[in-house]
Amino acid sequence: MLEEILGRCHPESAPIDDASRTALETMVARREAGEPLQYVLGAWAFRSLDLEVDARALIPRPETEQVVETALGELHDAAGPVAVDLGTGTGAIALSLAVELGTARPDLEVWATDADPGALELAERNRARVAVSAPEARLVRLARGWWFDALPADRRGRLDLVVANPPYVSEDEWEMLDQEVRCEPYGALVSGPGRDGTPGFADVETIVHAAGDWLTGGGVLVVELSPPQAGAAFRLAQRCGYQSARIDQDLAGRDRMLVARR
């Protein structure tokens, strides 16, 4: 199979050395075993970023790129903006906010939190990786802990933006996912039911409840969710006393995020 791939891609190329051949054979074997292409390659694009990716965190996806687009629009006009990316994983959201807004807003403060030390280490590696060409990446501050518990207490009530891509797949849904998706961290994908029984809604619910105490007046929560959870999320935001709430769609026209203003 390896010779066939090389022949198609580089029909006139010289033979590769043994080390390169072994590395390529290993990559092919990993892919044939069902490992996601992104993990095999070790890097993947997200908006303007080239990020290191591995099994410590979820693979960045186009749906989350749209979440960033919405978050940037909500944060752009804030004075002395302070933002947090909860459950940062690879650091994709936090780094995108810093890189895309940091040049125009050097006063921007971005926090990236994660309870998993492996994911936070990966985010730290990506901060250094991105900062080589985009120094604004250094605006991101990393903190370990569950959701808001990772933040300094003096940031309570001062956040202009809370953005998150939390686990929102139910246990039953996880069983039906493609094998490649089930190679990603279970804890970053799967969540329990919400209090109203909505499947996979527990972590979204926790964030919506808690964010009101951390946002400043007029601050905005943007949280990614599963399309069937949109109605439950909208009703929850209303019950929690947010000034306004809406459901935005992804590029495929599916309900994909709750946007709620304190």
Instruction: For residues 226-239, give the mean pLDDT.
Output: 98
- As a whole number of Å, the end-to-end CA separation of the chain is 57
Q: Residue 8: its pLDDT value, please? A: 45
> Does the model's pTM come out above 0.85?
yes
What is the sign, positive or negative, of the torsion defined by CA atoms of 184, 186, 187, 191? positive
Which H/E stretch holds residue 38? helix 37-41
Q: Label residue 175 by pLDDT band (50, 70, 90).
A: very high
pLDDT 10s digits, 198-223: 999 999 999 999 999 999 999 999 99
Torsion (CA) 102, 106, 108, 112 in degrees, nearest 10: 60
CATH number of 55-261: 3.40.50.150
* Distance in angstroms (rounded) separating the CA atoms of residues 176 and 202: 20
Write the pLDDT tens digit of every residue in 64-94. 999 999 999 998 888 889 999 999 999 999 9
